[in-house]
Amino acid sequence: MPGSRGGPGARDGRWARPDGPPPLLVACALGIERFALRGGDRSGASAPVVTLRTGMGPQAATAAVRHALRDGSATARAPVVATGFCAGLVPGMRPGDVVVAEAVRGHLPGAPDVLCSDNGPLLRALKERGLTVHTGLLRGSDHVVRGAERAGLRAAGAVAVDMESAATLAAATRGGGRPVAAVRVIVDAPEHELVRIGTLRGGMSAFRVLRSILPVFFEWHRSLLLPRR
């Protein structure tokens, strides 16, 4: 299987019952991201949670998510959250800020936007934790974006960029209306690029925030199970 599961591991499949609430699939690319998520507080989960490490890049993310959501798998019905680190594009952003995508767009020319599900519960829960939250378009890339290319993405309306979220959500919504969200933690920004002094501090800030926001995903997941008025 592309990637691997974190958290409860093999128990996930046993817990997911066809007649019970669907599990939550949390997808990230890097081992350090999965490590942060596995260290988060899971006590508030109302259903099984599967942490999927997809590997880096849009192709790896597409393959891993399609496999995880295949018919007959424990996570076939799961809502999907794409998470991990990202690069902020807006002046004034800082490492540790959070980006909640309203939509994601892939890196290929003409790629359609994937709209995210109701972000209200995510925004409320993040702000209640005192975090700085940005919303808007999250762009995908197949490489690390720097300098003038970042400025171009910002001019085209994006607030942040990463390599996997767009591919993850495109794969998750293929052929159906599955609830999806993308929540990324800024690890570098226009005034705080990774190549500059202070990178370590920024990375530590982003790691701590990513570890702390796992319960926010549980709140979003629970909101999906509530009856709609």
Residues 6+ apart with CB under 8 A from 196: none
pLDDT tens digit sequence for 32-68? 999 999 998 888 787 889 999 999 999 999 999 999 9
Q: Whole-angstrom Cα distance, residue 145 to residue 91?
A: 16
**Calpha distance 128→122 (Å, rounded):** 10
CATH number at residue 170: 3.40.50.1580
DSSP summary character for residue 110: T
Count how many domains the chain has.
1
Look at residue 42 in the predicted model and tell me its pLDDT.
87
Top-ranked range on mean pLDDT: pick from 88-97, 163-172, 199-208: 163-172
Q: How far is CA 199 from the centre of its chain?
A: 22
Q: Supply the pTM of this predicted model.
A: 0.86
Phi, psi of 72 (to 5 degrees): 90, -10
Tokens 């400025």 belong to residue: 151
Cα(202)–Cα(99) distance, rounded to whole angstroms? 16
- Hey, is 216 helix, strand or coil? helix
Cα distance between residue 136 and residue 147, in whole Å:
20
For the segment 6-33, the average pLDDT, to the nearest whole number, is 65
Q: What is the pLDDT of residue 201?
A: 59
CA distances from 190 to 87, 92, 98, 104 (A): 9, 8, 15, 20
Boundaries of domain holding 185: 4-225
Asked if the model's pLDDT at residue 172 lies above 90, the reply is yes
Alpha helices in the chain (DSSP H): 11-15, 31-38, 58-68, 120-128, 147-155, 165-173, 199-212, 214-225
DSSP letter string over 116-167?
Answer: ----HHHHHHHHHTT--EEEEEEEE-SS---HHHHHHHHHTTEEEEESSHHH
